[in-house]
Amino acid sequence: MKKLLFIILVFISGMTSLGLEMCASRLLGAYFGSSLYIWAVLIGLVLIYLTVGYFIGGRLADRYPSAQVLCVITAAAALTTAMIPFISQSVLSWSVSAIAQISVSAFLASLLGTVLLFAVPVTLLGLVSPFAIRLVTSDVKQSGRISGSLYAISTCGSILGSFLPVLWLIPTFGVRRSLLIFATLLFAASLWGLWQIQKSRLLWRPLTAIVQIALIATLFMELGPLKQIPDLIYHQESLYNYIQVTQQADGTRSLILNEGQAIHSIAYADKNRVLTGWYWDYFLAAPYFNKGFTPDKLHRVAIVGLAGGTIAHQFTQVYGPVPIDGVEIDPAIVDVGRKYFGMTEPNLNVHVQDGRPYIATTQEQFDEVVIDAFQQPYIPFQLTTKEFFNQVRARLSPQGVVALNTGHTSTDYRLVQSMVATMSKVFPSVYVLNVPNTFNTVVMATMQPTTIETFRSQLSQLDPTTTMGQVANEVVPVVEIGRPKDGIVFTDDRAPIEQITDQLLLSYIYG
């Protein structure tokens, strides 16, 4: 029986160590995004903590080779894990204020401080494997077999710890409650060793039992939203995002994801209001690059990055019930769009999948493909490469146009130049439209050779009091020919979009 309890403890310890890492990524993602750099910091520091744990665990096991000591270590790891949900929000709130102040040192310190929330429990869990090997190994001739078996048990737990929070715990219970579940299981697996300590004291067993009951009780506590933001009316942790919906006093609703540095969809109380004053409006003008274009010639539109359906609503209002294929990877966002943003247009066909495989496999032909997918502040690299735009080209009609939103700073246009350089390898005409008073640039490319003169001429003929007349007033003054210059051509093999985006952010912060 004792051997079985020991195996269970090793298994749950391995499960908790990976579960902590997966939960840490979600906590960081809600405030810093989920770029390769964030993952590198997270994985690197976790490995450092485990390394320290292995080193200390080996020495401690030789000095105190006792199952009771091991259970004290795992119990301490459980309790420090249980503390994270209750102390993390203050650290993460500090992160928000640091970003708002554009303070590089505070930003890096807050990022490091967030990851350091996991330093103590992960380090303590690192002690388990060497400690367990020392306790079980009595014959040096069997040390290889025993250590291999224990590492296999721990790794099996880690495998479960990598899938369990992603596929079930976090979407069902949220990241903080998932941490509490891991803590509760780990402490429960430690009880058999704790109850063997100082058995003469009648209070010891009741005390550990009370702690276990307290941990179980935390599972049913109301933890509130992961982040405290003004005007919040709904929040949810999904497989892909931390979703937040806000509503202002005038009824305007906004969709905010993860770290909340951008609005991904907007809905006004006035259902007849179409234009937002943001880059979304610009997509409506893209077909006018084609000579002789009239609204009845727009037969089908694809939107990669549907979110809450703002762009789909605009196209429906302006062009009528034109068929729209909206692609959104997160099914929870689709549900939120329908519930809070009126995304119920009968002409909208929603596809819950990644935009790249959708474009590669669909048999539809589009007159416009809009790409507005962000894992803020990054465009998914697979939606920026020459190979992807070749797939888009294959799905466009002869008069088709593709439009994509990207970003820049007041002095750094490297990302825009790279997108222009990449799209110029596929399309004959590429244009850029810098949205005034923002860091957004909309890049448009056409299947046929087109001109700015045609674009301006056709839009200038529209009634300025109509919706498209107002759009014309926005886009005509800012449209320019896209010139590749020294931009990097993104390919599936090399698309350093995150590196360029981070450099833009640092350039802005230092500026």
Q: Which of 288, 290, 268 is nearest to 277 (CA)?
A: 268
Q: Which of 333, 286, 278 is nearest to 305 (CA)?
A: 333
Spatial contact of 350 and 334, defined as CB atoms under 8 Å apart? yes
Instruction: Characterize the bridge pairing of strands 301-304 and 324-327.
Output: parallel
**What's the CA gap between 373 and 135, in Å, rounded?**
52
Q: What residues have CB less than 8 Å from 340, skipping those under 6 apart? A: 233, 234, 245, 253, 255, 267, 308
DSSP 132-191: HHHHH---GGGHHHHHHHHHHHHHHHHHHHHHHIIIIIHHHH-HHHHHHHHHHHHHHHHH
Q: What stretches of 393-496 adopt beta strand conformation (E)?
A: 396-407, 429-434, 440-446, 479-481
430: its two tokens: 């590429």
Q: What residues have CB less than 8 Å from 49, skipping those under 6 apart? A: 118, 119, 122, 123, 126
Q: Which residues of 100-139 are buried (b: 16+ CB within 10 A; e: fewer)?
A: eeeeeebbeebbeebbebbebbbbbbbbbbbbbbbbbbee
- At 354, the amino acid letter reads D
| 302 strand-pairing partners | 325, 369
Q: Is 252 exposed, middle or buried (0-12, 13-18, 19+ CB in 10 A)?
A: middle
Long-range CB pairs of 297-301 (<8 Å, 24+ gap) are 297/367, 297/399, 298/322, 298/367, 298/368, 299/323, 299/367, 299/397, 300/324, 300/325, 300/364, 300/365, 300/366, 300/367, 301/325, 301/366, 301/367, 301/368, 301/369, 301/370
Query: Active-site residue numbers?
Result: 372
Q: Which of 448, 402, 396, 451 is nearest to 423 (CA)?
A: 402
